[in-house]
């Protein structure tokens, strides 16, 4: 009791006493667990130059640690990808398949079954971490059907979440469950800067006797691509890269790609070039945020005990295969993302080519916190040993799964009737970026002997796309009809294995298990054409 009374008389002494208590009693006399910071951008590509404007970020995180050069997402769209980050699961296990409530994005079912087992909830409940979230959560967060902004997911001590999708001005935040409306005054409302300010305040006033986990989820570089005023004229001459797939017709690809017009209209090219510049401009504020957070950690003496992850929820394309701007496709520009990490024990200026996926972020963060991943339901693997230089002694995966279930209703777009029913995300020249049967699953394989991608569509064609990424890095030639049949069968088999995996079975390091027996009835809920074809192949 005397110690408690003394604490009230001296906050400084109190902080020291409590810190000693936690270090000796809670953590067994060891120094405090590492802090963890996850910086998540929105739609930041790596294939078409998205990291180029982020000079401070590359210096302060990448050069100070490790850059993973083969990092991919389990689904190339915001909501399912973010669900995979939070749960460490593939979409077929967390069941968030697209950005709609019907696709389980922030639905009551998601809240009931998945939110309690996200890694932030586990960090807070089992590992003694104080937790902070600021920014975009899931696309349908805050809608009335999803419980409104009053809903604060379990696991968060401090909650500053954006209602619905990315914006820069004129938005509403849920501040620990209460609405905070923002207008269009740059100094008070520009969202990237608001998130930075919330983050600075947390680092200044948080409890110093506990380790912390922070997740800062910026709107940039997602549309509407609104930059801060000081950056509005940056990069005046920059254009989208004219790589070999730019403005090229995907004649051997699935129907949604084949419907794109080549060459693109001048208006589409101008639009995508302008979007590309605007995306870069929004990233300059992200660069400032990263610099401010790193400096704050350094000033407080906490930088050396903090892991900092910088990544994105999916990639992006600007003109590849004559699609103006979006994600949602199976190609490298959409599924490959940046991943930079610095932290205790990570040597500077490293690059790592191992195949890492966003389902691995949760397991890695739990591993850092000292929690046994085997106790979780996660599909991913911890890449902590890869960061600590133990990669040569680690058995690691050679392939992973990409899944996407297209959006769109089974009706025609009145402005584009010739395209038929089900298209979505259409441009004025009737080039559409998505459709209800833009539903596919892929195996992406990177090993010493193979660099391949194999994809199957659940559409009327049961279309297959296969790419040899070694000789065709821009995925110009679909070799599905010319590849060796045995290789095709093995890749098909591995895809079926991954699409029915759960937890430990998703972490198999091998490419193909000849003894695996697969029941295709486990794969699909809606028994489309792909299901029926696979059923015939397997049962006959």
Q: Where in the sequence numbering do the catalytic residues fall? A: 78
**Helix (H) or strand (E) run with residue 263 in it:** none
Q: For residues 462 and 441, give the distance between their C-alpha atoms in angstroms, rounded to a whole number.
A: 11
Contact 283, 44 (CB under 8 A): yes
H runs (alpha helix) in 300-344? 332-335
Contact 41, 286 (CB under 8 A): yes
Give residues with Cβ within 8 angstroms of 135, minimum separation 6: 40, 160, 161, 162, 191, 195, 215, 216, 217, 218, 219
Q: Residue 408's CB: how many other CB atoms inside 10 A?
A: 20
Give ∠ CA 462-427-315 in degrees, rounded to 5: 65
Q: Give 163-182 as a DSSP string.
A: SSS--SSSEEEEETTEEEEE
Give the orientation angle of helix 119-126 with respect to helix 78-87, to 10 degrees: 30
User: Residue 536 is encoded by which pair of tokens?
Assistant: 């015939």
H runs (alpha helix) in 206-328? 255-258, 266-299
Q: How do beta strands 35-41 and 212-217 pair?
A: parallel
Mapped onto helix, strand or coil, the DSSP state of residue 65 is: coil
**Helix (H) or strand (E) run with residue 418 in it:** none
Contact 397, 509 (CB under 8 A): yes
Residue 87's nearest CA partner among 363, 401, 500, 405 is: 363
Residue 90's nearest CA partner among 396, 516, 380 is: 380
Exposure string of 505-514, with b = 16+ CB inside 10 Å and e = fewer, is ebbbeebbee
Report in angstroms the alpha-carbon separations of 21 from 1, 13, 28, 32. Answer: 15, 12, 10, 11
Q: For residues 172 and 115, give the distance between their C-alpha atoms in angstroms, rounded to a whole number.
A: 22
């Amino acid at each position: 009791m005397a110690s408690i009374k003394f604490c009230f008389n001296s906050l400084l002494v109190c902080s020291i006493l409590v810190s000693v208590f936690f270090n000796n009693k809670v953590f067994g006399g060891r120094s405090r667990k590492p802090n963890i910071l996850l910086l998540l951008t929105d739609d930041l590509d790596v294939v078409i130059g998205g990291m180029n404007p982020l000079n401070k970020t590359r210096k302060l995180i990448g050069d100070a640690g490790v850059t993973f050069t083969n990092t991919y997402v389990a689904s190339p769209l915001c909501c399912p990808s973010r669900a995979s980050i939070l749960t460490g699961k593939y979409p077929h296990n967390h069941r968030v398949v697209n950005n709609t409530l019907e696709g389980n994005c922030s639905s009551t079912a998601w809240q009931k079954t998945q939110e309690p087992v996200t890694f932030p909830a586990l960090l807070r409940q089992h590992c003694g971490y104080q937790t902070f979230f600021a920014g975009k959560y899931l696309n349908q967060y805050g809608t009335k059907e999803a419980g409104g902004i009053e809903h604060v997911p379990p696991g968060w001590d401090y909650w500053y979440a954006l209602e619905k999708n990315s914006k820069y001005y004129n938005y509403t935040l849920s501040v620990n469950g209460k609405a905070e409306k923002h207008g269009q005054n740059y100094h008070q409302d520009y969202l990237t800067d608001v998130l930075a300010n919330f983050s600075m305040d947390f680092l200044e006033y948080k409890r110093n006797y506990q380790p912390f986990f922070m997740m800062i989820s910026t709107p940039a570089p997602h549309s509407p691509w609104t930059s801060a005023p000081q950056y509005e004229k940056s990069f005046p001459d920059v254009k989208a890269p004219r790589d070999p797939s730019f403005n090229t017709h995907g004649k051997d690809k699935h129907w949604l790609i084949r419907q794109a017009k080549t060459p693109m209209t001048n208006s589409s090219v101008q639009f995508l070039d302008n979007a590309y510049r605007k995306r870069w401009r929004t990233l300059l504020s992200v660069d400032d945020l990263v610099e401010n957070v790193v400096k704050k950690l350094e000033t407080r003496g906490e930088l050396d005990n903090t892991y900092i992850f910088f990544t994105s929820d999916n990639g992006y394309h600007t003109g590849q295969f004559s699609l103006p701007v979006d994600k949602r496709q199976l190609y490298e520009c959409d599924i490959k993302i940046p991943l930079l990490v610095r932290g205790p024990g990570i040597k500077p200026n490293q690059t790592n080519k191992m195949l890492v996926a966003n389902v691995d972020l949760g397991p890695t963060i739990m591993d850092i916190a000292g929690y046994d991943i085997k106790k979780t339901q996660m599909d991913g693997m911890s890449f902590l040993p890869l960061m600590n230089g133990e990669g040569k002694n680690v058995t690691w995966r050679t392939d992973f799964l990409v899944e996407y279930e297209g959006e769109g209703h089974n009706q025609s777009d009145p402005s584009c009737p010739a395209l038929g029913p089900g298209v979505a995300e259409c441009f004025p020249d009737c080039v559409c970026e998505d459709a209800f049967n833009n539903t596919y699953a892929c195996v992406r394989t990177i090993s010493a002997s193979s660099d391949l991608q194999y994809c199957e569509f659940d559409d009327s064609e049961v279309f297959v796309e296969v790419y040899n990424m070694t000789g065709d890095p821009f995925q110009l030639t679909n070799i599905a009809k010319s590849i060796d049949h045995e290789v095709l069968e093995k890749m098909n088999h591995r895809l079926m294995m991954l699409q029915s995996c759960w937890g430990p079975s998703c972490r198999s390091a091998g490419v193909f298990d000849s003894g695996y027996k697969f029941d295709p009835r486990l794969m699909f809920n809606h028994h489309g054409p792909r299901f029926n074809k696979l059923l015939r192949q397997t049962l006959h």
